[in-house]
């Protein structure tokens, strides 16, 4: 840990420096060393991990087998049971597990920030979109490029401006990983056509589950998550970068509380069952249907742990 450089920064909304400590936690996903503190800006309420790994040292916390890189690899083998696969697809539509919910738009130019191994780029290209990606992991970027899509391997900060502006920019569980979200969102704003849509998903640190599980909350993901947004603070950050928040969908999923409970069990020594529960968000299987009614209620109350945000370039 001693060789991982840390930095201590103020609120990115340029508030006067006045923070309260919320909690201290560890990397519970990859099990890498270090203790990290989350603070809340007393002026605007935005929570951030501080001190935090620098942009240069952060790579240490993204091993090649980091979950999201693997989960977005496109399976090239055809499913054996086609009927079963199409039934499952229909059920997914009906139950709205889709965490990639988009406004209804005609196909145009789309950028995905943090496209990982390219599954979503591939899906949108098949629907007629002209797609481009940005991906920090060279290995994941190569996988996305092998599918035939142009992908900038590197950070959003180093990505060159596109040849033409975009109609749609998406980022699935990306914003909370960025060192300078205001700067990044300003850059994306400049790349956008007038009236274009920005669609992002982020964990909801304002949810009941976050308050109950605290440092065991699965979506806390320290130290990779540098900011911990709520409905209120994500609006502030977007607005500081020239975006108007149009809509927030609280996703109808309750996978994170199950995994968080797994983290609690691991701490009390029940490591086998605990570890099994922590893999739940990646493989919920039929349990997702059992949890759905409760998830609908929690989402209606704005209390699920993941939100999808629709924003447009402010006029
Ligand atoms: Zn602030």
Distance of CA 43 from the midpoint of ligand 1 (Å): 5
Distance of CA 144 from the midpoint of ligand 1 (Å): 36
What secondary structure does DSSP assign to 192-221, as a single string? EEEEEEEEEEEE-TTSHHHHHHGGG-GGG-
Distance of CA 172 from the midpoint of ligand 1 (Å): 24
264 CA to centre of own chain: 23
Distance of CA 143 from the midpoint of ligand 1 (Å): 38
The pLDDT value recorded for residue 92 is 65
pLDDT in tens, 39-61: 999 999 999 999 999 998 998 99
Distance of CA 10 from the midpoint of ligand 1 (Å): 8
Do the Cβ atoms of 44 and 15 come closer than 8 Å? yes
The pLDDT value recorded for residue 98 is 60
Distance of CA 155 from the midpoint of ligand 1 (Å): 24
- Using pLDDT thresholds of 50, 70 and 90, give the confidence band for residue 233: very high
Distance of CA 279 from the midpoint of ligand 1 (Å): 34
Q: Please say whether the dihedral angle defined by the alpha carbons of residues 277, 259, 288 and 135, taken in this order, is positive or negative.
A: negative
Distance of CA 12 from the midpoint of ligand 1 (Å): 7
Distance of CA 77 from the midpoint of ligand 1 (Å): 48
Rounded Cα–Cα distance for residues 21 and 132 (Å): 39
Per-residue pLDDT for 13 more than 60? yes
Distance of CA 130 from the midpoint of ligand 1 (Å): 37
Distance of CA 164 from the midpoint of ligand 1 (Å): 34
When comparing pLDDT for 78 and 303, which is higher? 303
Kindly state the average pLDDT of the residues 117-142: 95
Distance of CA 229 from the midpoint of ligand 1 (Å): 12
How far apart, in Å, are the Cα atoms of 158 and each of 35, 161, 177, 239, 255? 29, 9, 16, 23, 34
Between 23-32, 92-101, 195-204, 245-254, the lowest mean confidence (pLDDT) is in 92-101
When comparing pLDDT for 285 and 153, which is higher? 153
pLDDT in tens, 58-103: 989 988 777 665 555 665 444 456 777 777 677 666 666 667 789 9
Do the Cβ atoms of 182 and 13 come closer than 8 Å? yes
Per-residue pLDDT for 106 more than 60? yes
Distance of CA 19 from the midpoint of ligand 1 (Å): 9
The pLDDT value recorded for residue 94 is 66
Q: Three-state DSSP class for 295?
A: helix
Kindly state the average pLDDT of the residues 128-151: 95
- Using pLDDT thresholds of 50, 70 and 90, give the confidence band for residue 3: confident
pLDDT in tens, 120-130: 999 999 999 99
Distance of CA 236 from the midpoint of ligand 1 (Å): 9
- Using pLDDT thresholds of 50, 70 and 90, give the confidence band for residue 270: confident
When comparing pLDDT for 112 and 286, which is higher? 112
Helix (H) or strand (E) run with residue 13 in it: none
Q: How many helices (H) and strands (E) does the chain have?
A: 10, 13
What secondary structure does DSSP assign to 120-179, as a single string? HHHHHHHTT-EEEEEES-HHHHHHHHHTT--EEES-TTTPPPPSS-EEEEEEES-GGG-S
When comparing pLDDT for 275 and 284, which is higher? 275
The pLDDT value recorded for residue 79 is 47
pTM over 0.85: yes
Between 23-32, 76-85, 168-177, the lowest mean confidence (pLDDT) is in 76-85
What percent of the chain has pLDDT above 90?
67
């Amino acid at each position: 840990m001693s060789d991982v450089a840390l930095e201590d920064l103020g609120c990115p909304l340029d508030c006067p420096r006045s923070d309260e400590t919320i909690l201290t936690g560890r990397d519970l996903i990859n099990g890498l060393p270090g203790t990290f503190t989350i603070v809340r800006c007393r002026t605007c309420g935005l929570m951030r991990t501080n001190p935090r790994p620098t942009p240069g040292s952060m790579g240490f916390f993204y091993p090649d087998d980091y979950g999201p890189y693997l989960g977005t690899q496109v399976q090239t083998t055809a499913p054996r049971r086609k009927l079963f696969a199409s039934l499952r697809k229909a059920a997914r539509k009906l139950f709205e597990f889709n965490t990639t919910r988009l406004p209804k738009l005609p196909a145009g130019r789309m950028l995905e920030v943090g496209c990982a191994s390219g599954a979503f780029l591939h899906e949108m290209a098949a629907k007629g979109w002209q797609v481009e990606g940005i991906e920090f992991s060279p290995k994941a970027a190569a996988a996305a490029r092998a599918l035939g899509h142009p992908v900038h391997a590197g950070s959003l900060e180093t990505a060159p401006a596109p040849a033409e502006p975009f109609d749609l920019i998406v980022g699935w569980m990306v914003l909370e990983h960025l060192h300078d979200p205001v700067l990044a969102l300003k850059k994306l704003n400049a790349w956008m056509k007038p009236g274009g849509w920005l669609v992002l998903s982020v964990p909801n640190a304002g949810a009941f589950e976050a308050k109950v599980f605290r440092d065991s909350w699965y979506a806390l993901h320290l130290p990779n998550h540098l900011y911990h947004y709520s409905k209120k603070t994500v609006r502030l950050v977007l607005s500081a970068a020239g975006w108007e928040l149009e809509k927030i969908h609280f996703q109808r999923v309750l996978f994170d509380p199950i995994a968080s409970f797994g983290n609690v069990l691991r701490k009390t020594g029940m490591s086998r069952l605990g570890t099994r529960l922590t893999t739940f968000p990646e493989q919920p299987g039929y349990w997702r249907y059992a949890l759905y009614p409760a998830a609908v209620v929690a989402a209606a109350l704005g209390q699920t742990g993941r939100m999808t945000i629709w924003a447009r370039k402010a006029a």
